[in-house]
Amino acid sequence: MQDLITQGFTPPLRLADFKLAAFDMDSTLINIECIDEIADAAGKKAEVAAITEAAMRGEITDFKDSLRRRLALLKGVPVSALEQVLRERLQFNPGARELCAALKAAGLKLVLVSGGFTFFTRYVAAELGMDYVRSNELQIVDGALTGGLVMQAWGEICDGEEKRRMLLQCAAEIGATPAQTIAVGDGANDLPMMGAAGLSVAFHAKPKVREQAMVAINEGGLDRLLSVFAA
């Protein structure tokens, strides 16, 4: 398998032709699936990870259902488990900081769209200088997870369709066309936003996602993406 594959266009592209880049978080910008690591603290990682993996491969097509099933298994997990995951397990993937810094320096707006949780996206967004964030908010009562989510102004669950909506909404807000956007992800629920973007990027992704992306980074860091743009 080649370490960087491009299809549907001829490099190099001009970074100046893009105005916005949207990123998935778990296993894209960071090295873990947060929900699996929370489950590990509850002794239920195998059960939760199996559902996560099936959903990312596209074998479970209803992301909302898969997320609700996983969250139900986390009922009663203390907030301290989330703090431990953030403190001890969450790391940025190679090249994440470099790519985001380069895109911001080129004038692009950055969007973080995640089927993960605000507990983690707040930290990641602040570290990488994200301009927009959309993710799910865990419901916490008396210091423990209830197994549910908090309804937000836009809805309850950020799934693939919500990621696509957020990409297009943010693009419209800054006066960018869909063709002027980049979408980066690794799982099946990233495909809707990747399909709407002018440049779709798969990072160490599932086969189904690699096949449909215009750029597939299979080895090395996220900053490999910069090689498809003219210096």
The residues assigned a catalytic role are: 24, 26
Of 185, 195, 189, nearest to 216 by C-alpha is: 185
Of 129, 194, 138, 137, nearest to 163 by C-alpha is: 194
- What count of residues does the chain have? 231
In angstroms, the Cα distances linking 6 to 18, 118, 142, 222, 230 are: 17, 33, 49, 14, 15
Query: At residue 124, what are phi and psi to the nearest 5 degrees?
Result: -65, -45
Rounded to whole angstroms, the Cα distance separating 75 from 100 reads 35
Distance between first and last Cα of the chain: 26
Rounded to whole angstroms, the Cα distance separating 198 from 218 reads 20
Of 27, 29, 18, nearest to 52 by C-alpha is: 27
Rounded to whole angstroms, the Cα distance separating 131 from 19 reads 12
Rounded to whole angstroms, the Cα distance separating 150 from 183 reads 26
Rounded to whole angstroms, the Cα distance separating 210 from 196 reads 16
Structure tokens at 186: 């690794």
